[in-house]
């Protein structure tokens, strides 16, 4: 059986992509803020999601999909700022 904390974390994880893009209702946004205030795992998930968002944005623009993917893979292999930030996380 899943307890309330696990259910809240699961719901938070489902809402997280919409939280970082500002696409939640006020009630959902408040729920996410409460999770972030009380739970280290939620804060770690948010940090990872924000890093991924920045990585995707950094390889966007007018490039074709293959070029964007290659730039993202290069940054994840240590060619950019994304990988060192992941190493700092303690999950």
Cβ contact 14:6 at 8 Å: no
pLDDT at position 69 over 80: no
Please state the pTM of the whole predicted model: 0.61
* Amino acid 33: pLDDT: 96
Instruction: Tell me the residue range of the domain where 80 lies.
Output: 4-88
Cα angle vertex 31, ends 27, 34, to 5°?
Answer: 140
pLDDT in tens, 1-23: 345 678 999 999 999 999 998 99
- For the chain, the domain total comes to 1
DSSP-derived secondary structure for 1-46: ---HHHHHHHHHHHHHHHHHTT-S-HHHHHHHHHHHHH-HHHHHHH
């Amino acid at each position: 059986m899943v307890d309330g904390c696990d259910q809240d974390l699961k719901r938070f994880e489902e809402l997280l992509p919409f939280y970082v893009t500002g696409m939640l209702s006020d009630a959902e946004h408040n729920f996410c803020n409460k999770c972030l205030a009380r739970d280290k795992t939620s804060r770690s998930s948010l940090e990872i999601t924000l890093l991924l968002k920045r990585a995707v944005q950094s390889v966007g623009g007018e490039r074709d999909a293959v070029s964007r993917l290659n730039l993202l893979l290069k940054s994840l292999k240590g060619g950019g700022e994304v990988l060192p930030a992941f190493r700092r996380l303690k999950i």
